[in-house]
Amino acid sequence: MTEPVQESGEPTPFGEDRDPARVVAFSDAVIAIAVTLLVLEIRPPLDTRHLPHGLAALWPSYLAYAVTFMLIGQVWANHHIMFDHIRSADRLVLFLNTVLLMDLSFLPFAASVLADTFRDGHGQRTAVVLYGLSFELIAVLFNLLWWHARHERRLLVPTIHAAAVTAITRRFRLALVWLGAGTLLGALLPGLGVAVIFAFIPYYWLPIAGEIRRSGRRRGRGDQA
């Protein structure tokens, strides 16, 4: 079997061009399992004689479930945005993505701890810090992955514009500051820290600058054709 040859005529180094599609497919599967496990952390009331009261008392679990589901959904969406522009996954990308998925799989536990402390009234500071640090680590890994991919544009698709690279970079860096601030505030004022982390949801579901405008132009050109 002959070795693959680059345009320059030199053989392609072993393992350099690894299709990121399998990385995305594996990541999607892990994320799907993680969001499914979230609901298993909501334990039914043991006393069915006072079921309405027991169900109402689980409100911290409902809230932790809903918020964590939406935050993991953001991780999934931004993971796709990032890998849409990565043409090749080297071993460092595989390693960083594996650590990212390992941390993401920990989130159902962190959400359960957070809900339990707010329901019982003890340990909220520690729980908020644990919860915040779990998402902060994800933000760190996103930034490391994107920095490695965009370094000298070695792993990026050639069609991505410099403005798009900058916009994605700014979005990922802001996540570091936002989640870090929520975690630090949670160590002092748990309720405020949780509110800052929760406020992350509506902002980060907004499209990255330029997404809608570019897609609108493409649709316009398609209609004219």
pLDDT of 39 higher than 70: yes
pLDDT at 133: 97
pTM of the entire predicted model: 0.82
More reliable by pLDDT, 208 or 178? 178
pLDDT at 15: 54
C-alpha distances (whole Å) from 148 to each of 25, 94, 95, 99 are 21, 12, 12, 15
End-to-end CA distance of the chain: 45
Interval 126-148: pLDDT, tens: 999 999 999 999 999 999 999 99
pLDDT at 210: 63
CA-nearest of 217, 206, 218 to 167 is 206
**Tokens 């005529």, located at residue:** 9
pLDDT of 20 higher than 70: yes
Distance CA 25, CA 51 (A): 41
Helix, strand, coil percent values for the chain (each to nearest 5): 75, 0, 25
Residues in contact with 163: Cβ distance below 8 Å, sequence separation at least 6, in sequence order: 210
Per-residue pLDDT, averaged over 44-71, amounts to 90
Distance CA 81, CA 12 (A): 27
pLDDT at 11: 55
pLDDT at 218: 45
120 token code pair:
């019982």
pLDDT at 225: 40
CA-nearest of 109, 117, 119, 131 to 41 is 109
pLDDT at 5: 45
Distance CA 225, CA 20 (A): 32
In the beta sheet, which residues pair with residue 61?
none
Per-residue pLDDT, averaged over 170-198, amounts to 94
